[in-house]
Amino acid sequence: MYATRLKRGVTSTRSLDIIRWVAIIFGSVTGSGTGHKSMSASNSAITIADIARAAGVSVSTVSRILNNKPDVAEGTRQRVQAIIAELGFTPHAQAQRLAAGRSRAIGLLFPDAQLSLMREEFILGAAKAASDASYTFYLITSDLTRHQLMALCRSALTDGIILMEIHLRDWRVSYLKRLGFPFVMIGRCANNNGISFIDMDFEHGIAQAVDHLANLGHRKIALLASPDDVYERGYGPAVRSRDSYARTCTRLGLPAIIAPANDTQAELAEATNMLLDRHPDLTAIVSMHGDTTIAVYRALEARNLRVPADVSVIAFITRRAAELFTPPLAAIDFPAYDFGYQAGRMLIARLQGSGSVEHILPPPQLILRRSIAPPRTLRPNGLA
């Protein structure tokens, strides 16, 4: 039930912020449609709505004051607090934990978490880990500044954070280490001493995909990679996948053909067309773009090229998404739900004092489906 409600919130909302998720998830945990229980047993007749009416403010304003949020006028805060004291209002257990600096909550910091099946599975996996341990779960999709991250850590809103979108030298990691604030990573830095993480083994995954295509006889294998600026900023998956592809091509004596593209269908289709214009003898593509690899299929179809008769395609993608393609997409399987769940489990274990540092780097698994075949020139009579 918890995961189902969370899923609906994610799939219907493009831009989320932490305050909106407080209301949604408090409702899930407490069973209250408004996100708050009434009061303690001795004051059960008083509700948060009563406080709001008496103070002449909205329920959300009272909620923000109870949760120690800073963006409330000081005069309003004092008036509401005076009415709370006068009426003997006692917040529900979650608010009491916040006031004590123990939220029993974890947050997933996932900058720019646009809608996709893969991103959804990361979120749902982490939420399920929180739910299984009776923790509240927050999703934060803003790209936080240093000041905002400090405010989050000091807010008592979460006890720990799962970091995503990790760079090789990530200021958030060094900052949280200095603060001593509990966190784990989905992804990894260049130096991961003392930090728990789970990550895809992009280096070996890329090598496995290119090796398999080369063994089928492909000699022109392109990589649809992340944009150049993402690579230059040191984003971990971009650097590891592109560098591994170049090394693998060198080892196999193949030309390295790299097409950078943003993770949108329009840009991925444009990059695919550019590849085919420049390399009309291209016979295979490896895509780092997950769900949006559907744009590759569509670009090929628009040029009357078939998968895999004319061009074979492999992507890093979740199993569920890969099986929705026609033909089903061969893939380096990306178990995003499991990654989210394991990250949540590691963080909660640390918060409960039972966890040690874990480095989880599962071996990549190449799932062969009907989007790959030997190049046409190597088939009997050139048949598909």
* Pair (206, 294) in one structural domain: yes
* Pair (125, 171) in one structural domain: yes
pLDDT digits (tens, 9 = 90+) for 109-118: 998 756 678 8
Phi/psi for 312 (5° steps) reads -85, 150
Domain membership flag for residue 359: no
What's the first-to-final CA gap in the chain, in angstroms?
47
Overall average pLDDT of the 228-244 stretch:
97
Domain membership flag for residue 360: no
* Pair (120, 84) in one structural domain: no
Work out the burial of residue 126: count CB atoms within 10 Å of its CB; fewer than 13 is exposed, 13-18 middle, 19 or more buried: buried
Residue type at position 198: I
Number of domain units in the chain: 3
- Looking at per-residue pLDDT, the higher value among 384 and 283 belongs to 283
Pairing mode, strands 284-287 and 312-317 = parallel
Domain membership flag for residue 149: yes
On average, the pLDDT of the chain sits at 84
Contact 149, 172 (CB under 8 A): yes
Alpha-carbon distance 90 to 60, whole Å?
17
Q: Picking from 266-270, 300-304, 380-384, which range would have the lowest pLDDT averaged per residue?
A: 380-384
* Pair (237, 347) in one structural domain: no
Structure confidence at residue 368 (pLDDT) = 97
Q: Give Cβ neighbours of residue 92 (< 8 Å, ≥ 6 apart).
A: 30, 36, 37, 38, 39
Structure confidence at residue 11 (pLDDT) = 30
* Pair (261, 313) in one structural domain: yes
Whether residue 99 has pLDDT greater than 60: no
Please report which helix (H) or strand (E) contains residue 284, including its range. Answer: strand 284-287
pTM of the model: 0.74
Domain membership flag for residue 96: no
Instruction: Give the pLDDT band (50/70/90) at residue 87.
Output: confident
The tokens describing 79, both together, are 């008036």
* Pair (259, 322) in one structural domain: yes
Domain membership flag for residue 107: yes
Q: Domain of 329?
A: 202-333+365-382
- Looking at per-residue pLDDT, the higher value among 48 and 13 belongs to 48
Contact 117, 320 (CB under 8 A): yes
Structure confidence at residue 46 (pLDDT) = 75
pLDDT digits (tens, 9 = 90+) for 136-151: 999 998 889 999 999 8
C-alpha distances (whole Å) from 89 to each of 84, 157, 316 are 5, 21, 53
- The residue whose two tokens read 């803003």 is 142
The tokens describing 289, both together, are 């773009």
The CATH number covering residue 86 comes to 1.10.260.40
Overall average pLDDT of the 294-305 stretch:
97
Structure confidence at residue 66 (pLDDT) = 81
Structure confidence at residue 95 (pLDDT) = 52
* Pair (25, 8) in one structural domain: yes
Domain membership flag for residue 317: yes
* Pair (236, 306) in one structural domain: yes
Domain membership flag for residue 358: no
- Going by the DSSP 8-state scheme, the letter that residue 36 receives in this structure is -
The tokens describing 271, both together, are 């990059």
Structure confidence at residue 4 (pLDDT) = 30
Whether residue 377 has pLDDT greater than 80: no
Q: Picking from 59-68, 254-263, 296-305, which range would have the lowest pLDDT averaged per residue?
A: 59-68
* Pair (231, 266) in one structural domain: yes
* Pair (261, 347) in one structural domain: no
Phi/psi for 17 (5° steps) reads -130, 165
Domain membership flag for residue 76: yes
* Pair (6, 79) in one structural domain: no
pLDDT digits (tens, 9 = 90+) for 150-181: 988 888 789 999 999 999 999 999 999 999 99
* Pair (223, 156) in one structural domain: no
C-alpha distances (whole Å) from 22 to each of 105, 125, 252 are 10, 19, 52
